[in-house]
A and B are shown apart, each in its own frame.
Chain A
Amino acid sequence: MRKFLGTAAAAAVMMAGTAAYSADVKEVQMLHWWTSGGEAAALNVLKEDLSKEGFAWKDVPVAGGGGDAAMTALKAMVAAGTYPTASQMLGYTVLDYAQAGVMGDLTETATKEGWDKSVPAALQKFSVYDGKWVAAPVNVHSVNWLWINKAVMDKIGGTEPKTFDELIALLDKAKAAGVIPLALGGQNWQEATMFDSIVLSTGGPEFYKKAFNDLDEESLKSDTMKKSFDNLAKIIKYVDPNFSGRDWNLATAMVIKGDALVQVMGDWAKGEFVAAKKTPDTDFLCYRFPGTNGSVIYNSDMFGMFDVPDDRKAAQVALATATLSKSFQSAFNVVKGSVPARTDVPDTDFDACGKKGIADLKAANEGGTLFGSLAQGYGAPPAVANAYKDVVSKFVHGQITTSDQAVEELVKAIDDAK
């Protein structure tokens, strides 16, 4: 009798529970920080795809637009056990959460949709944990780009720089013509993002991988790394004195307006050019950072999938399927400026820079020259990445004065954070 009562009570509780959650079953709860105009428009594509299948979309509100606030909110939600269906996540964060055992398992869907073959292996490192698919990659950004204002380029008679020295020569020309040669925002991640490219250019693909993906100590304190810092010191001289604390999009705006010649930035900068109604090759130029042709330093936005109750799984599977569908990958990335996370998406809708990006990604994936960006949290866990950003930023702003000292500090900081 007592047992029966217990079962009945449990059933009642479960029914109550189901009733409380029934509203969520046909709903995709999504935590993200894509709030700017272009990003929101790109997400709308996904919302419509899902609503066709009968799933409602619910943004999990996050106070503050930046990713940091969202990550703090997510941490609190996970700690409280109220998982969203999915959340925008970057690199090692996915693995952190997977390690904490809160991520779901999408392997079934992945096998059915053939993600293993179409998603580059470098991305699978972050979306597959312990043999299980835990995240759906949305796009691939690449970081080693130069964004150049074409009108300024024509005025100073510049051509595409093929080597680092040619880049310096080009910057000199701009300086002589009275234009700010290099637009840089003085936040540590921007400085480190540029340094990623410089290291790849100075040391080559092998060196980049060893130093910034494998964190090999010999490479980190090698002369090549010192030379990279020397090159950073050289290029920093071309920045206007007022750069400290500037946001990346303001730096992009300087290039768009023609106040500055070039910005070294990930391809999200292209989104700004497109939003300002500029077209590649007529208004602006996109070149790979000199000496990095053939290699791609990437980061990628991923939708981390949480271990939701069974009745919410259908919505999650629908979201994951829609996210990696070719139509969404194409439509979203055309707007966002990035390239699709699967290599079999046709590039017909993309502009010149997008087509180049897709081709580069494919080549890099096949040639084994696709590397995670350390500055963007794809080279090493956040503690290490931030230690690295600290050192680069202190070098740029003069707290660290010589490249010898910088290398010493870099080794110490990374060792400390490991």
Chain B
Amino acid sequence: MNTVATPEIKLTSERKRGNSIRSRLQDVLPKIVLAPSFAVTVIFVYGFIVWTAYLSFTNSKTFPSYALTGPRAYQRLWRWTFESDPPSSWYTSITNMAIFGFLYVGICLALGLFLAILLDQKIRGEGLLRPIFLYPMALSFIVTGVAWKWFLDPGLGLEQTLHQWGWTSFHFDWIKNKDFVIYTVVIAGVWQASGFVMAMFLAGLRGIDSEIMKAAQIDGATTLQLYRRIVIPMLRPVFLSAFIVLAHMAIKSYDLVVALTSGGPGGSAWLPSNFMYEYTFKRNEMAVGSASAIIMLMTISAIIVPYLYSELREKAR
């Protein structure tokens, strides 16, 4: 194949000899432009992942130390996961992550889709409603956390107000309750993100070819069937994007826990990110913090990589 192509290339290159430097430059220009950011990513993302992994096998305390001392940090985390009664901070963190991640992603997806379908019914005032739902996303988690902290505080917010209005038997102290405090984090998180998910789904809904819907309607499909059999399956790529966005927001939500609960009673609202920060920077146990970070990374990879793989392979087919 090469032998056939060569004369032709020679011919064109001879014809464009004057342009050859420029065309070569054009070939490499994207690479040159991308090189710095690529290098930065390699060093500051992947390089530091490797560095963190290395530190987790050392005895680093306040400052990094580089003498390898074996998997002591992992052994401690293992013990804290499986041999902890009462629950250790690490055990609390990972169970909280499971509860929070599952409910936050699940409720946001369900609520976002529901709102999007309602808004898609060609209602009046959609232009006004859409930004109202979307707006919480413009706030930072810190603001959301502080606002909900005041709202949920039994001495300041909802409970106090209802008591003043005369409903004195009303009782809602989840934010002060070690067993329920993580659900208040879910409430605040869902409030913030479901509008954004709604916008994503709405865009997806608008992208569906109306011909298909009409054809289905002519075939006698009810609205419920229409959505269940046709619309929602066609929104699959949107589900993927929304899931990725929500999952990474769930995993990194450190600020929400701090602003909303300051860690919760006895540290009962911690997520692994809180654990990692506490141990690395406040408790001067950098090795344990690094080990927890690596475990978080591995857990995420174990969930996201197969999911991405299956989704993307399906698309490619």
Contacts and interface: CB of A to CB of B under 8 A. Distances in A.
Answer yes or no: are A and B bound together in one complex. yes
B176 interface: yes
B89 interface: yes
- Counting chain B CB atoms within 10 Å of each CB, which of A186, A187, A245, A417 scores highest? A245
Q: Is the interface of A mostly helix, strand, loop or mixed?
A: helix
A187 B264 CA distance: 9
Across the A-B interface, give the 9 residue pairs with the lowest CB-CB distance, nearest first. Answer: A397-B266, A397-B265, A244-B265, A244-B176, A242-B155, A96-B62, A393-B266, A394-B266, A386-B283
Contacts of B285: 383, 417
Given A75-B63, A397-B268, 6 more contacts: A75-B62, A96-B63, A390-B89, A398-B266, A399-B87, A399-B266
Contact of B178 (A382, A390, A399, A405): A399
A159 interface: no
B307 to A, nearest CB: 34
Contacts of A100: 62-63
A241 interface: yes
B281 A188 contact: no
Interface of B: 61-63, 76, 86-87, 89, 153-155, 173, 175-176, 178, 261-268, 278, 281-285
A390 B281 CA distance: 16
14 contacts: A71-B282, A96-B61, A96-B62, A96-B284, A97-B62, A186-B265, A241-B176, A242-B154, A242-B155, A245-B261, A382-B282, A386-B282, A398-B265, A400-B86
Interface string A101-120: 00000000000000000000
Contact of B61 (A245, A383, A399): A383
Could you say which interface size class chain A belongs to?
Answer: 20 to 34
Interface of A: 68, 71-72, 75, 79, 93, 96-97, 100, 186-188, 241-242, 244-245, 381-383, 386, 390, 393-394, 396-401, 405, 409, 416-417
Nearest to B85: A405
Given A244-B265, A393-B267, A394-B266, A72 B155 contact: no
A11 to B, nearest CB: 34
- Counting chain B CB atoms within 10 Å of each CB, which of A386, A393, A399 scores highest? A399
A310 to B, nearest CB: 25
Nearest to A92: B284
Contacts of A409: 86
A416 B281 contact: no
A201 B86 CA distance: 27
A96 B65 CA distance: 13
Contacts of A245: 175-176, 261-265
Contacts of B265: 186, 244-245, 393, 397-398
A401 B284 CA distance: 28
A398 B285 CA distance: 26
A304 to B, nearest CB: 13
A71 B176 contact: no
A241 B173 contact: yes
A382 B176 contact: no
B134 to A, nearest CB: 29
- Counting chain A CB atoms within 10 Å of each CB, which of B76, B261, B263 scores highest? B263
A344 B155 CA distance: 47
Given A68-B281, A394-B86, A405-B86, A399 B268 contact: yes
Nearest to A243: B176
A186 B178 CA distance: 12
Nearest to B154: A242
A94 B185 CA distance: 37
A405 B265 CA distance: 18
Given A68-B282, A245-B176, A390 B262 contact: no
Contacts of A241: 154, 173, 176
A416 B87 CA distance: 15
A359 B183 CA distance: 50
A241 B265 CA distance: 12
Contacts of B62: 75, 93, 96-97, 100
